[in-house]
Amino acid sequence: MHLVALAWFYVVLMMAVAEALSPQGTVLGAFFTFLLYGVLPLSIVLYVMGAPMRRRARQRAEAAASGSAAHEHGRGQAAGDAVATVREKT
């Protein structure tokens, strides 16, 4: 994913350079080319593609927080008599 983003960034940078160096182009046009073709779409795509990773990190953090909270309050440990005793048949 990062390789594609880097390649797109390179293409947009070359477009902006061509815009700035052309006889009809301006530096302001190159700036907006870089911003509107590169930075804005790339930031949206990377944000959307990173959503599953952020969700997993949030779930791990919540699990770690609930696990440490349960451990601090004595929960999360096995009870002393977890197995029922066997009754004798008469």
Label each residue of the chain as H, E or C: CHHHHHHHHHHHHHHHHHHHHCCCCCHHHHHHHHHHHHHHHHHHHHHHHCHHHHHHHHHHHHHHHHHHHHHHCCCCCCCCCCCCCCCCCC
The proportion of the chain whose per-residue pLDDT surpasses 70, expressed as a percent, equals 80
∠ CA 4-39-30, rounded to 5°: 110
Which residue type, as a one-letter code, is found at position 89?
K
Each residue's pLDDT tens digit, 50-90: 888 999 999 999 988 887 655 555 555 555 556 666 777 77
